[in-house]
A and B are shown apart, each in its own frame.
Chain A
Amino acid sequence: MYPPVFYLTSPNKGFMLGTGVGVYVGQVEPQAAPSGGFSSTSLSGTFYDGDSEVVSEAVSAEMIGVEALTFDGSGGLDIVGDYIGGYIGTEVNQEVDQTNSTSLGMVNSNGTFSTNSTYGQINAIMISTSKVVNIDDSTQSNPIIQVIKQ
């Protein structure tokens, strides 16, 4: 991204816009780390998220969805979600009431981590113990920002 332009709405928080051809738009907000920094045990309780499809991409090949995530406070989490996207013949592909259990893996003290061990790169950051942001569908052609909140 070219150096972004920030439009603040309050101290340390606001909207941002990339200045290059990638047409980035997003948000910036303060990070609140727990004492001692972040770790895989920083998240506990029930969280939720939902993807917002970028309009110009229409229904893309990858799935978008809504999820409820339950973190156990020890690095493990259970996910239940509904997903939609792509086509099977002429029908839009839907996956309803899916469940998955996984773990956070290594979380750096600054809150950065990877949600996909085969991705080979950081794609998520803990903003606080109640909010996380990650690049969803990070192996697909149209990656989406996903904000996970308690």
Chain B
Amino acid sequence: MSTPQDNLTEQLGRELHDRGASVPGNPIGLGDVKRTAGRIRRRRQVAGGVIVAAAAAVIVPSVMVAGNLLGGDAAPEPAPAPSVTQSPKPAPSDGPIVLDADAPQGADPQLTYLDGVLLIDSAGNKTELDVEYTNITRAGDEFLATRYGDPVFSVDVLDAEGRVRDSSPTGTGAVGSADGTVGAWVTPDGKVMTRFQGRTVQLNTVTGGSPEAVEILGSGSCMEAEGGCRVFVNHQDGSSRPQSVDSHGIVDVVPGGMQIVRAVSPEGLIAGLVTKPDADPSAPACSAIYDEQAGKRLFRTCDFAFGYGAGFSPDGSRIVAQPQDADGLGPRSVVVLDSRTGDTVAEIEVPDANTARAIDSITDTAWEDAGHLLVKTDADGADGPSYSMFRVDLTDGTVERVFEERAAGGEVQPWRFLH
């Protein structure tokens, strides 16, 4: 005699098999697969390896020599400095820092962040905004807040009280300088816009599809006579290499062989993907840091990829990266690298999947200061994802809980850091 449970599972099995049988068999060809593989590799989703990294360290210097001798434009390729290009060292021997859900409670974040419609500063002051923004950055006394619209994103300029003062279409979002005094975004048709001292100034227009402002260098003003600024732009569709636009209106290719820029420090260190998009799809996707002032590549890695959340530390000495093969549900660890040598300063990971209070992945990171990193995690429960926040003290490896696990209204992610 069958039970109701048996009946349901049998019925379910039949239903799924009948549904599946209606699906066409072979709609995808090898050409489609290889094109997709190329895009994936370019996005650094390919598993790298120690063997490949070691090989790259040998090959790279000869490429550098060619680039230096033949490149006559204003965007020099990496200089021939084999002793500078290093293979990053593995994590410290004292092991990874685990984001323990039972860690002691710490203070609230010492930086500005969004939580739903609330903008909360480091002192805990809350400003209620009219809409829930996807990200936010500072531009002097104002904020540049990005919201999803149809068909494109929009940047709203908010005053200190959170009132909308201006609005502009954007391809992705806005970026702010390290000191929070100037901000920038790019319109879908390539206009590079800056905001400072309560005014909006266009620097120039970039060519190439799907432009994305990734970083702005400058302080106080983007006016040419007042020191100027420089905006770095990626083209997400791969139609053009990354470009930078400065207050002279000069549009230039980002140096260092960068294919995608992920972060730029105020000192001129550029971190990003260097493997070319037309490389063999089975080749590893590698990243590098290039010192623009010195005109040389500092190191290259095929084990880690940049751009996961925090980027360079406030003092520029460290950078957050993720394992290159992180996939699926997202990275279960991030690393902090020395930004000049690539050596692993710290590895931060979520607890083992079988622990009682499991965490699925790390969803974001942000620097509070040069020694403290905030790490946001998620866990996928039966009622949807829930989120937690931790503080990692990189000086001694200790961990604090900042915010307890929170479901946060179903699918809306809480605690979006000001980047």
Q: Do A and B come from one complex?
A: no
Which B residues are within 8 Å of any A CB, using their own CB?
none
Using a CB–CB cutoff of 8 Å, the interface residues on chain A facing chain B are none
